[in-house]
Amino acid sequence: MTADKHASMQILRYSEHDTARWVAEPAKNPARTAFERDRGRLVHSSALRRLSAKTQVLGPSSDDFVRNRLTHTLEVAQVGRELGKALGCDPDVVDTACLAHDLGHPPFGHNGERALSEAASGIGGFEGNAQTLRLLTRLEPKVLTVDGRSAGLNLTRASLDAATKYPWAFEDRPVILDGRRTHKFGVYEDDLPVFEWLRDGAPDGVKCLEAQVMDFADDVAYSVHDVEDAVASGRMDLAELAADEGRARVVEAVDAWYGGVVSAQDLRDAMARLDQAGLLLHGFDGTRRALAALKNLTSALIGRFVSAAEKATRAQYGQGALVRYQANVVVPHETLAEILVLKGTAVAYVMAPRESEPVYPRQRRILLDLVEVVRELGPSVLETAFKVDWYASDDDSQRLRVVIDQIASLTDVSALEWHARLCN
C-alpha cells in the first residue's frame, strides 16, 4: 500500500477533528500520516528513554532478566498494536497510546506513586496517569504556543484521547470502576484546558476504543510477564497452582487486591482451565529448554487472551473498521478470570511479600525527603526547565507542583543520587 493510500484510508476512519493538534502545525511531510508523526515523537522523547531505569515490578537493577518499565511498555505496544489493527483502529494511534501509558510513573513504580500522592495531597494529589497527560501536553519539550509556553509533544486529539486511561479529574473520579473502588484519575486541575480540548465531543467518563485497547494490552502484558519474571527469577513455581494450597493462596490475593471483580469459584475454574490447557508450567529448572518452554507459555497466554477479546468484540459489533467511540472492547468473563489468576499469582508470590521488605518503606521515605528538601532549596537545585516553571509560579501550591514534576521525572537511580547529595 502506498503512503498516500494509507493516509487517505486514515482520513476515512478518522476525521479532521481527530487529527487536529492543540497548536496548529503544517504537515511537513505529506507522505507521513499525522498519527505516524505522533508515534515518532513518542519514540524519540526523553520521557520514554527514562523508563529504562524505572521499576516495573522488580527494580531494574535486581536482575538482568526481569522487565523494567520501558521493556514492559514496548511489550504493551506490541500487544496493543496487533489487537487495535485487528479491530480496525489506526495502529499508530494505539501504539502511541501504549508507548505513553506509563510515562508519568515516578521512581520506584507504584511505591513511589504512593509517596508522591501523600506529598501532593494538598494540591490535588499525584497520579501516574494524570502525570502522563502533563508530560505529553506540557513537560516534554517539542512544540511551543504562540506566547512561548510549552505544548509538550503536541499530539493529535485522537492520540491524546487514546492515551487517557482515566478520562476524569480528581474531583470527578467514580467511586466504583469495573466493579471495584478506584482512586485513579487522568488530569490535574491546571491541565483541564487541554484535557477539555482533547475530550471535545467525547461522552463523559467514557474511554475511546483505542484507550480500551491500550488498557487491555497493559493488563495482558503485565499479568503474563510478571508471572514469567517471577518464574524465571525463582520466586515461584507455576506447578503450585495445580494444588489446592496454591490455588487458595491466589484466590486470597485476588480478593485482597482486586476484590469484587469475579467470584472465588470463577477463579478456581480459571486455574483448572489453564491447567487442562497445559498453560501451567511444571518443573522449571533454568535450562534453555525450560526458558524456551516459559517463553512459549507467555506467547500462548497472550494469544489466548487477545484472540478471545477480538472474537468477542467482533461478535458484538460485526466486521469493518472500529474506531474512537464506535465500539467497546469486549472481554469475556472467563478471560477476565484467567487474567486475574495471573495477576493474583504475581501478587501472592512477589508483590505482597515485598511489602514487608525494608527497601519499600525506605523508597517512599527517599521521595518524601526529596520533596521536602527540594521545596526548601527551590531553584538552586532544580533542573533548568523546572527552574523556569518555579519562577513562573504564582504561589506555594504551584511551586510544590513544580517540585513534584521534577521528582517524578527522576529515575530510580537518579532519585537515589539526588537523595545522597541533598539529604546526606
Distance CA 173, CA 179 (A): 14
Here the cell at position 282 is 511444571
Count of other CB atoms within 10 angstroms of residue 5 = 9
325 found inside a domain: yes
> What Cα–Cα distance (Å) separates residue 320 from each residue in 1, 2, 106, 162?
18, 21, 39, 20
**Same domain, residue pair 237 and 267:** yes
H/E stretch holding 181? strand 180-181
292 and 343 part of one domain: yes
371 with 335, same domain: the answer is no
The tens-digit pLDDT sequence of the chain (424 residues) is 444 454 445 546 899 999 999 999 987 788 899 999 999 999 999 999 999 887 655 544 445 556 688 999 999 999 999 999 999 999 999 999 999 999 999 999 888 999 999 999 999 999 999 999 999 999 999 999 999 999 999 999 999 999 999 999 988 877 666 666 678 999 999 999 999 999 999 999 999 999 999 999 999 998 998 888 888 877 887 777 778 888 899 999 998 888 778 999 999 999 999 989 988 877 788 899 988 988 999 999 999 999 999 999 999 999 999 999 999 999 999 999 999 999 998 888 887 766 667 888 899 999 999 999 999 999 999 999 999 999 999 999 999 999 999 999 999 999 999 999 999 7
- Cross-strand bridge partners of residue 418: none
Amino acid identity for residue 400 in this structure:
L
Let me know whether 161 and 94 are in one domain: yes
Q: What is the DSSP string of 309-321?
A: HHHHHHHHH-SS-
Q: Which of 208, 178, 213 lies closest to 85 in space, CA to CA? A: 213
Does 205 map to a domain?
Answer: no
Q: What is the DSSP letter of 191?
A: G
In a domain, 311, yes or no: yes
Q: Does residue 49 belong to any structural domain of this protein?
A: yes
As a whole number of angstroms, the distance between CA 95 and CA 119 comes to 32
Rounded Cα distance, 141 and 150, in Å: 7
Q: Are both 14 and 146 inside the same structural domain?
A: yes
Write b or e for each residue in 177-198: b if 16 or more Cβ atoms lie within 10 A of its Cβ, otherwise e: eeeeeeeebbbbeebeebbeeb
Whole-structure pTM value:
0.91
Could you tell me if 183 and 155 lie in one domain? yes
**Total number of domains constituting the chain:** 3
Query: CA-to-CA distance for 408 and 378, rounded, in angstroms?
Result: 15
- Claim to verify: residue 68 and residue 91 sit in the same structural domain: yes
Boundary of a domain, candidates 305, 324, 354: 354
Quote the domain boundaries for residue 271: 233-354
Are residues 49 and 148 located together in one domain of the fold?
Answer: yes
Q: How is the chain split among helix, strand and coil, in percent rounded to 5?
A: 65, 0, 35
Is there a domain that residue 27 lies in?
A: yes
**Do the beta carbons of residue 176 and residue 216 sit within 8 Å?**
no
C-beta separation of 274 from 341 below 8 A? yes
User: End-to-end alpha-carbon separation of the chain, Å?
Assistant: 59
- The Cα 2–Cα 238 span in angstroms is 47
Are residue 162 and residue 287 in the same domain, yes or no? no
**pLDDT number for residue 176:** 66
The predicted pLDDT at position 422 comes to: 95
Q: Is residue 391 part of a domain?
A: yes
CA angle 100, 105, 106 (to 5 degrees): 145
Q: Which CATH number does the domain housing residue 17 bear?
A: 1.10.3210.10
Do 224 and 301 meet the contact criterion of CB atoms below 8 Å apart?
yes
Which phi and psi angles does 169 have, rounded to 5°?
-85, 170
Point out the domain boundary residue: 354, 371, 405. 354
Whether 347 is in a domain gets the answer yes
Spatial separation of the C-alpha atoms in residues 250 and 117, rounded to whole Å: 29
Give the whole-angstrom CA distance, residue 257 versus residue 41.
35
Query: 206 lies in a domain?
Result: no
Q: In terms of domains, do 39 and 175 share one? A: yes
Please tell me the predicted confidence (pLDDT) of residue 189.
94
Pairwise CA distance, residues 268 & 263, whole Å: 9
Q: Are both 384 and 403 inside the same structural domain?
A: yes
Please report the DSSP string for 129-158 in residue order: HHHHHHIIIIIS-S-B-TTS-B-TT--BHH
- Side chain identity, residue 15: S
User: Hey, what's the cell of 160?
Assistant: 491524546
Please choose, from the candidates 372, 380, 381, 393, the residue with its C-alpha nearest in 3D space to the C-alpha of residue 120. 372
Look up cell 490475593; give the residue: 253
CA angle 365, 69, 185 (to 5 degrees): 70
Backbone angles phi, psi at 53, to 5 degrees: -115, 25
Give strand pairing partners of 169. Answer: 187
- What pLDDT score does 159 carry? 98
* Co-location of 110 and 242 in the same domain: no
- Cβ neighbours for 101, distance < 8 A, ≥ 6 positions apart: 73, 76, 132, 163, 165, 214, 218
Final residue belonging to a domain, choices 306, 321, 354 = 354
